[in-house]
Amino acid sequence: MKKKEKLKKMAACILAAAMMLSGCGSKETSTGSAGGTDDTPAGTAESAAEISKVSGDAIKIGTSFPLSGSVAADGKLIVDAIRLAVDQVNAEGGIQGRTVEIVSEDDEADPTTAASVANKFAEDDSILAVITSYNSSCGLAQIPVYKEAGLSAVSPVTTSPDITGMSDYYYRTCNNDGMVGAQCADMLATLGCKKIAVLYEIDDYGYGIYAKYGERAKQVGLEEATVQTFVYGETKDFSTIVTAIKDSGADGIFFAGLATEMGLFANQALTQGISFADIPCVAADGCNSPSTIEAGGEAVNGLYTLGPFSLESEDAGVQAFIASYKEAYGGEPSGWSALAYDAAMTLFEAMKACDTLDRESINTSLQSISYEGITGLNKFHDSDVSKTYLTFQIRDGEIRLTEIH
């Protein structure tokens, strides 16, 4: 089937499901990172008439994302998008006549906690697959556990190049850092920058992007004016880094980090006279989130970033997703939301193709899946996809699609 036909069909399904959400919601079991179990309704109220259409034991899907701490806002956006996908598939009759149920865990953006969550899922035979990991370090901690258990995991966000080919049971709907870092270098070169101040967080995500950025930067003639590092979740004072940038003579900035740290850096830079309107700053996809604007306010105006999803897209499937997300949650989805929605829908399509729903059959189906989602084609090779990432700039407090000349 051609892409346009698929998207038209998907748009119709999304809109139909959105109309039913008020009467047919997903079930979500939220247990926290190590506590007891509470069954709570997720998103919308259930209708006995609609639920009765779907029979059999529930298909349980584990989710592991940060629901507390500095990146909890992004974690919530991701889980909300997964919940929306679950609501929609249940509204359409479930999978093979069975409802889908989320078992949600808070990995606290901490690799140790993430490994504990992975073990919990692996040991629970009722968990048939997992959608997981905001942080690459958390993903790397979980992968060996899922591989040993033969439990498929799909991640919308983990981007470390080290994950490529690491396991036959781990997949991701986002591009890896090699693609992101290289594109950031190209963006700076196109903006006419020559001497770049580099900032990256000291972890798998930050260094992974910086390493690939550095390779491409040499190819396109970018020099490193200064290289500065910071610690995710710990660095609050960027004044020394800002001073180093001012003294370096940089005419461009590359930032490999997340929203909270970008907000801190941007505000402290502006205090010392560095505005992104004067010195172009390109940030990796970790900053393509409303959380960046919440953290940085006016100081992040002018920031460039990238990602696979735009609220301004005219695509029918994308607009249907945005409309149903707004109806369910009252706000706009982020790029992470879109990738998470695709992760869920890709997993569900793989499940629908299984003769029997068990862990190994699901994994076999994922290996051959080819699903055109709202962020592009989800077809895996060595765990990875290859998608076209769009370029954005924050203007007047909004992440706007932009072309860089």
For residue 223, name the pLDDT band (cuts at 50, 70, 90).
Answer: very high
Shared-domain flag, residues 223 and 273: yes
> Do 238 and 364 fall within a single domain?
no
Q: What's the order of all strands across the beta sheet hosting 304-307?
A: 223-230, 195-201, 252-256, 281-283, 304-307, 390-395, 398-401
Q: Which of 291, 307, 323 is the last residue of a domain?
A: 307
Whether the pLDDT of residue 394 is over 60: the answer is yes
Q: What is the DSSP annotation of 72-128?
A: HHHHHHHHHHHHHHHHHHHHTT-BTTB-EEEEEEE-TT-HHHHHHHHHHHHH-TTEE
Q: What is the pLDDT of residue 70?
A: 86
Please check the confidence at residue 99 and state whether its pLDDT lies above 80.
yes
Assigned domain for 23 exists: yes
In a domain, 401, yes or no: no
In a domain, 259, yes or no: yes
Between 3-12, 93-102, 235-244, 309-318, the lowest mean confidence (pLDDT) is in 3-12
Nearest alpha-carbon partner for 292 in 90, 82, 71, 136 = 71
348/42 Cα distance (integer angstroms): 18
pLDDT band at 382 (very low <50, low <70, confident <90, very high): very high
User: Which residue type does 165 have?
Assistant: G
Q: Are residues 191 and 291 in the same domain?
A: yes
The pLDDT value recorded for residue 402 is 95
Determine if the pTM surpasses 0.85: no
Q: Could you give the dihedral angle defined by the CA atoms of residues 259, 295, 300 and 217, in that order, rounded to the nearest 10 degrees?
A: -20
Range in 7-21, 156-170, 383-397 the model is least confident about: 7-21
Domain of residue 201, residue span:
177-307
| Greater pLDDT, 405 or 341 | 341
Predicted confidence (pLDDT) at residue 243 exceeds the cutoff of 90: yes
For residues 21 and 114, membership in a common domain is answered with yes
213 falls within a domain: yes
Q: What is the pLDDT, as a whole number, of residue 56? A: 61
Task: Let me know whether 54 and 139 are in one domain.
Answer: yes
Token digits of residue 74: 């992004």
The radius of gyration of the chain's CA atoms, rounded to the nearest angstrom, is 21
pLDDT of residue 43: 39
147 and 225 both lie in a single domain: no
Give yes or no: residues 31 and 153 share one domain: yes
State the pLDDT at residue 18: 45
30, 167: one domain: yes
Q: How confident is the model at residue 21 (pLDDT cuts 50, 70, 90)?
A: very low
The C-alpha angle with vertex 217 and arms to 295 and 275, in degrees rounded to 5, equals 35
- Residue 330 makes CB contacts below 8 A (sequence gap 6+) with none
Which residues, including other chains, have CB under 8 Å from residue 400's CB and lie 6 or more apart? 312, 392, 393, 394
Percent of the chain with pLDDT over 90: 82
As for how many domains the chain has, the answer is 2
325 CB-near residues (< 8 Å, 6+ apart): 80, 81, 84, 331, 332, 333, 337
Q: Measured between alpha carbons, how far is 384 from 63 in angstroms, rounded to an integer?
A: 20
385: left (phi over 0), alpha (psi -120 to 50) or beta: beta
Give the bridge partners for 167, in sequence order.
none
pLDDT in tens, 316-350: 999 999 999 999 999 999 999 999 999 999 999 99
Query: Is the Cα dihedral 358, 359, 360, 361 positive or negative?
Result: positive
Q: Are residues 135 and 164 in the same domain?
A: yes
Average pLDDT over residues 297-310: 96
252 found inside a domain: yes
Do residues 62 and 167 both lie within one domain? yes
Q: Amino acid identity of 105? A: E
Q: What is the pLDDT of residues 133-180, one digit of tens each?
A: 999 999 999 999 999 999 999 999 999 989 999 999 999 999 998 899
Residue 204 lies in a domain: yes
Q: What is the CATH number of the domain that holds 200?
A: 3.40.50.2300
267 and 316 share a domain?
no
Selection from 40-49, 143-152, 282-291 with the highest mean pLDDT = 143-152
Instruction: Please report the pLDDT score of residue 167 as a whole number.
Output: 97
Closest by CA to 369, choosing from 340, 388, 345, 338, is 345
Cα–Cα distance, 191 to 170 (Å, whole number): 36
- 390 in a structural domain: no
In a domain, 389, yes or no: no
Residues 302, 320, single domain; the answer is no
What pLDDT is recorded for position 405?
77
The larger pLDDT score, comparing residue 370 to residue 9, is at 370
